[in-house]
Structure 1
Amino acid sequence: MDLLFWIIGFSLLGGLLSVVIASSFLLLSDKHRATTVPHLVSFAIGALLGASFLGLIPHAIENQYNVDPHEIGLTLLLGLLLFFLLEKMVLWRHCHSHHGDEVIPELNRPDHHGGHNHKHEAAGSLILIGDAIHNFVDGILITAAFMTDVHLGIVTALAIAAHEIPQELGDFVLLLHSGFTRRKALYYNILSSLGTVVGALLAYFLLADMQQYLPYILVVAASSFIYVAVADLIPGLHTRIRPSETLQQISLIAAGVIFIFIAHSTLH
């Protein structure tokens, strides 16, 4: 029962709390948003890569599972290809390209509460559906990590939260542009974030008798983190190419990795 409380608590951290924190950035001035959001993205890259290579993959290949390392490598490769295909079908990610620099112009647009056509309204609904599915899968990954090791679960949830904050900010931007009021956008984003808890609870009861599959689920989680960081977030950083900006990016990516390393080492 203690494990279930850990899972629920950190699922809320990965989903609900990230929405609340992201919404608070809408209160910042345009200048502060323009400097803060890219920093969050850089830190999230480090956290995602750190959680993958320092936590999830090493735990997946531990001897206790008696898993062939070649199977782990194949699963990782297939996972990356899977997320590529899902993105192509617009089932996995719906607004990641609006991180970083592209978030800021959208935030500066005035809210439109009327006159939107059905196309814009439908786009907002698709954003919420896609985000709910994303959060649902995140919940499954958090549970799989916790059922392997509580410390790994915490690290995984922290990495997800670091990534969700800039993503949820992008969701807010797109919902506002689709005609949602700020209050309505917050309400529906909170509802969609609860998909993390639903996914976590479902996985908790389903994975109890499927321990032999945990290593593969951990590797799929790692592949999703790696894909988001490398194929999604990193390209957005290349729009800022000045040496000072590059140094900031490298420093914050390193900070994200170090944060995960310290969290993992301290918890152990």
Structure 2
Amino acid sequence: MTDYFATLSPVAQALIATLFTWGMTAIGAALVFTTKKMNQKLMDGMLGFAGGVMIAASFWSLLSPAIEMSEGSSFPAWFPAAIGFLLGGFFLWVADKIIPHLHPTSSMKDAEGINPAKRRRSTLLIFAITLHNIPEGLAVGVAFGAIANGFPSASLPAAIALAIGIGIQNLPEGTAVAMPLRREGMSRRKSFFYGQLSGMVEPVAAIVGVLAVTLMTPVLPYALSFAAGAMIFVVIEEVIPGSHENGYKDLASICLMLGFTIMMILDVAFG
């Protein structure tokens, strides 16, 4: 299976990988068909786990390869990683200020962006998860693009491991959109539809990432670091605070450690 996957173009590889991550979002959203109310303790644990996966992926799959790729260049090895990382966080910060959205655990008065009061709560919830799925899709795309460019620090198993890790953490994201919509009275089918819809942006972002790094090879270390910075911003700004709001801080922290460890093992074992 891996041998066949290796024969595909980078765009096809990234597309298949992010169709998987999108599918995992859909599985999370599908929980609306099996339960009326999500166990908050379980949800916070899942969010913590997702945060751990994202932190580990940001370093092992993105920042570390970016630093390795920059060795021997005219700039210090840390320079592209530092600049890209900060730009990624800045991009998400600006997007948060512009795009109207609402985090799943927040009330309408805490909605962010431009004129959020003019949008329905369901729309704001979808925008929030969709916005934060962009760096995840981008990360997968640049990982497969790096393989196409022949960088020694990039490998197909590592890129696949990254996609698997992101897919795992997409489960609670789909649930985090679908469940609140269901509680507001939306039908199960519509709640599922809008929950899985939030993952649709990942294949698009992945293709953009692949094309960017294959057409402009010198930007690859910056692109990897950019995706890492954007993902870390999401973890700090939304995932960790969201997992701590309901009194299950210890559980969320333990699950974050587990998520980090599992993603680290996946990346190191297959990298």
TM range (shorter): 0.7 to 0.9
C-alpha deviations, 1:205-256, integer Å up to 9, x for none?
4432212111111111111221121222222344455xxx554333212111
Q: CA deviation at 1:266?
A: 1.5
C-alpha deviations, 1:133-153, integer Å up to 9, x for none?
544553232110122232342
Q: Which structure: greater helix fraction?
A: 1
Q: Which amino acid aligns with 2:122?
A: G
Q: CA deviation at 1:182?
A: 1.4
Asked if 1 retains the 8 angstrom alpha-carbon contact of 2:29 and 2:196, the reply is no
TM-score, normalised via structure 1 length: 0.76
Question: Tell me, which stretches of 5 or more residues in structure 2 are unaligned?
Answer: 1-6, 108-116, 147-153
Q: Which amino acid aligns with 1:35?
A: K
Question: Tell me, which stretches of 5 or more residues in structure 1 are unaligned?
Answer: 103-118
Q: Identity of aligned pairs, percent?
A: 22
C-alpha deviations, 1:185-224, integer Å up to 9, x for none?
2234434433222332344344322121111111111112
Alignment of 1:81-120 (within 5 A): 81-90=90-99, 94-98=101-105
Distance between the aligned counterparts of 1:155 and 1:209, measured in 2? 24
Distance between the aligned counterparts of 1:220 and 1:133, measured in 2? 15
Judged with a 3 Å threshold, the aligned counterparts in structure 2 of structure 1 residues 185 and 146 are, in CA distance, closer, same or farther, namely: same
Distance between the aligned counterparts of 1:230 and 1:121, measured in 2? 25
Judged with a 3 Å threshold, the aligned counterparts in structure 2 of structure 1 residues 222 and 23 are, in CA distance, closer, same or farther, namely: same
Worse-matched range after superposition: 1-10 or 46-55:
1-10
Does 2:143 correspond to 1:145? Answer: yes
Q: Flag as ranges the 4+ runs of structure 1 deviating above 6 A.
A: none
Judged with a 3 Å threshold, the aligned counterparts in structure 2 of structure 1 residues 224 and 212 are, in CA distance, closer, same or farther, namely: same
Q: Which amino acid aligns with 2:91?
A: L
Worse-matched range after superposition: 248-257 or 221-230:
248-257
Residue 153 of structure 1 aligns to a residue in which SS? helix
Asked if 2 retains the 8 angstrom alpha-carbon contact of 1:96 and 1:167, the reply is no
Distance between the aligned counterparts of 2:43 and 2:60, measured in 1? 25
Distance between the aligned counterparts of 1:181 and 1:25, measured in 2? 9
Distance between the aligned counterparts of 1:254 and 1:159, measured in 2? 14
Residue 193 of structure 1 aligns to a residue in which SS? coil
Distance between the aligned counterparts of 1:142 and 1:38, measured in 2? 25
Does 2:264 correspond to 1:261? Answer: yes
- Pick from 188, 197, 201 the counterpart of residue 203 of structure 2: 197
Distance between the aligned counterparts of 2:34 and 2:96, measured in 1? 31
Partner of 1:46: 52
Residue 99 of structure 2 aligns to a residue in which SS? coil
Aligned residues: 244
Alignment of 1:214-225 (within 5 A): 214-225=220-231
Q: Which amino acid aligns with 2:263?
A: I
Q: CA deviation at 1:48?
A: 1.0
Partner of 1:79: 88
Does 2:241 correspond to 1:235? Answer: yes
Q: Which amino acid aligns with 1:72?
A: A
TM-score, normalised via structure 2 length: 0.75
Asked if 1 retains the 8 angstrom alpha-carbon contact of 2:133 and 2:201, the reply is yes
Judged with a 3 Å threshold, the aligned counterparts in structure 2 of structure 1 residues 33 and 25 are, in CA distance, closer, same or farther, namely: farther
Does 2:248 correspond to 1:248? Answer: no
